[in-house]
Amino acid sequence: MKRRQFVRNISLATLSIPFISDGFGMKAVNQKLFNFSTGAEDRVLILIQLNGGNDGLNTVIPIDQYANLMVQRSDIIIPQNQVLTLTQDVGLHPVMTGMKNMFNAGNLSILQNVGYPEQNRSHFRSADIWSTGSLDVNQTNGWLGRHFDAIYPNFPEQYPNPTNLDPFAISMGSEVSATCQGLMGNFSHTVSNPFNSFNLYEGGFINDGSYFGNNVEYVATLINQSNEYGARINQAATAGNTLSTLYDPLNSLAVQLKYIAQMISGGLQTKVYILNLSGFDTHDGQVDDLNHATGTHSLLLKKLSDAIAAFQDDLQLLGIQERVAGLTFSEFGRQIAANASFGTDHGDAAPCFLFGSCINAGIIGPNPQISNLPNAQAGVPMNIDFRNIYASLLKDWFGVPAQEVQALFEHQINYYSIIAGCNVGLDDIDSGKATALLYPNPTPSNFTIKFNNLVEGMVAADILDLNGRTIKRLFSTHLYAGIHHIPCESSDLAEGHYIVSIRKGDQAENLSLIKIS
């Protein structure tokens, strides 16, 4: 099985269960058990779009350029003594304490000067370029849409189906994401609130009992019923969990990320989540003229930083941090020089943040070089082509073979090493790097053991509590040599941490299992 299977839930035909149940602790294989997807294929990408064009130079501050920045943007510059220092030369906006902590913990990397050649400063065109991952004006499909199209060429006909029960991507809000536009359909499903997955009353509709009101409610209910994704999303969010206390309920981005944590931990197999944070078009009043560390932009950055830090905290508490990586981006950066309204105008390149426990933390790319002479309309020159970031994520996070990634892009890809570690996954079993793992984990009900049986023989597995006491026998059976996916019943377990012990002869492999509600 290739790693690109990440995006393809395992098909029935590839499931091999060549053993005979002894009937103890095991249920007959049924359709429900096939619903679980597979471990390393559980990787999730979070995309956070900063709408309007984020001012990179007030977000990630090139400290070594401070004197020249003062020449260019004294009206809006962050006081140097307030900059949160990450390294000697690079600092963050003072409100971004959450992300600073993530950086120090190795969960954040900064990609400097990201853009594309011949920057287009129109919001709309530039957003299209970022969505399509292409400079070709005739390319109307999104970069993720093309990727999904390559795997599911007949979408949306006959989706969802028993092997693809969940949306491939979820766009938080009311709008499908242009990144997911495929040839025949858009692969993203909109969700404002997974607990009300149809968004019936999102637009403020109230059934006043009129004929019209009753009709709307009737149709809405039917849409809801027909919305098979909606039921799955609702089910996952309800089954899922959230443990962090850092989420601010007034921070809309944090609320959405919390929903995402609930959906992921609840077993939803969606691969991509897309979020928007708007308001970055800070032509005026970007900063408070009396206190440059406050104002519109600082509120947005605080929202972003707090939300992502809370989300990362939650993922770690839930034990699913290795499944999730996230990227922030904006259609362009802003000009180096401030304008006369305590703001900045449309510019060129800007930094992106990559976060997660499996990313290659650090600062990628040099600081921008700021001239000591004001230069009307100058932006930050592009150093990293964003298309290479997308391509690197597809290859190293989603495991898409390089030649398939190249086929999705018009330009010659130059990969960046932005993903590191966390390579223990199902494919590591295939490649011999591991012998067993559990999926999904944490699990709201049942789980599957993927096990590479090197030599034919008896194999037994038990669930133990943390004190090593056996709680139940999962199976004891004769297994042929080869890789097995063995469905196990655990819906009867209380919430908590357990050990799954797989024994063969005098050897045992103990794996951690987290049961959630």
For the window 290-329, what string marks contact with another protein as x by the rule CB under 8 A? Answer: ----------------------------------------
The tokens for 351 are 């930094």
Yes or no: say if 135 and 410 are a contact pair by the CB < 8 Å rule.
yes
Closest CB 180 distance from another protein, rounded Å: 11
Among 128, 166, 306, 427, binds another protein (CB under 8 A): 128
Beta-carbon neighbour count of residue 498 at 10 Å?
Answer: 21
Yes or no: say if 323 and 42 are a contact pair by the CB < 8 Å rule.
yes
Closest CB 51 distance from another protein, rounded Å: 5
CB nearer to another protein: pick between 97 and 140: 140
Site residues for another protein, window 266-285 (CB under 8 A)?
Answer: 276, 278-279, 281
CB nearer to another protein: pick between 65 and 131: 131
Q: Does 161 bind another protein (CB under 8 A)?
A: no
Which DSSP helix (H) or strand (E) runs through 447?
strand 447-453
CB nearer to another protein: pick between 87 and 174: 174
For the window 30-69, what string marks contact with another protein as x by the rule CB under 8 A? Answer: ---------------------xx-----------------
Q: Does 137 bind another protein (CB under 8 A)?
A: yes
The tokens for 407 are 């086929």
The tokens for 454 are 């090197």
CA angle 30, 32, 33 (to 5 degrees): 75
Closest CB 300 distance from another protein, rounded Å: 12
Q: Does 223 bind another protein (CB under 8 A)?
A: yes
Indicate the residue type of 257: L
CB nearer to another protein: pick between 135 and 317: 135
CB nearer to another protein: pick between 125 and 478: 125
CB nearer to another protein: pick between 16 and 215: 215
12 burial type by CB count under 10 A (0-12 exposed, 13-18 middle, 19+ buried): exposed
User: Which residues contact residue 95 at a Cβ distance below 8 angstroms, ignoring those fewer than 6 apart?
Assistant: 293, 298, 299, 301, 302, 305
CB nearer to another protein: pick between 15 and 200: 200
- What is the C-alpha to C-alpha distance for residues 421 and 266, in angstroms, rounded to an integer? 25
Distance between the two ends of the chain, CA-based, in angstroms?
31
CB nearer to another protein: pick between 377 and 512: 377
Closest CB 402 distance from another protein, rounded Å: 28
- What is the C-alpha to C-alpha distance for residues 123 and 63, in angstroms, rounded to an integer? 28
Site residues for another protein, window 203-222 (CB under 8 A)?
Answer: 203-205, 210-212, 215-220, 222
Closest CB 123 distance from another protein, rounded Å: 5
- What is the C-alpha to C-alpha distance for residues 278 and 298, in angstroms, rounded to an integer? 13
User: Which residues contact residue 57 at a Cβ distance below 8 angstroms, ignoring those fewer than 6 apart?
Assistant: 69, 73, 333, 334, 336, 368, 370, 380
Beta bridge partners of 451: 436, 484
Closest CB 141 distance from another protein, rounded Å: 8
Q: Does 202 bind another protein (CB under 8 A)?
A: yes
Indicate the residue type of 252: S
CB nearer to another protein: pick between 137 and 466: 137
- What is the C-alpha to C-alpha distance for residues 143 and 409, in angstroms, rounded to an integer? 8
* Count of residues interacting with another protein (CB under 8 A): 45
- What is the C-alpha to C-alpha distance for residues 187 and 196, in angstroms, rounded to an integer? 20
Site residues for another protein, window 173-192 (CB under 8 A)?
Answer: 174-176, 178, 181, 183-186
Q: Does 470 bind another protein (CB under 8 A)?
A: no
For the window 91-120, what string marks contact with another protein as x by the rule CB under 8 A? Answer: -----------------------------x
Could you tell me which of 373, 355, 353 has the C-alpha nearest to residue 365?
A: 353
**Which residue intervals of 227-342 are DSSP H helices?**
228-239, 252-265, 296-318
Among 14, 226, 491, 517, binds another protein (CB under 8 A): 226
Which residues contact another protein by CB under 8 A?
Answer: 51-52, 120, 122-125, 127-128, 137-138, 140, 156-157, 174-176, 178, 181, 183-186, 200, 202-205, 210-212, 215-220, 222-223, 225-226, 276, 278-279, 281
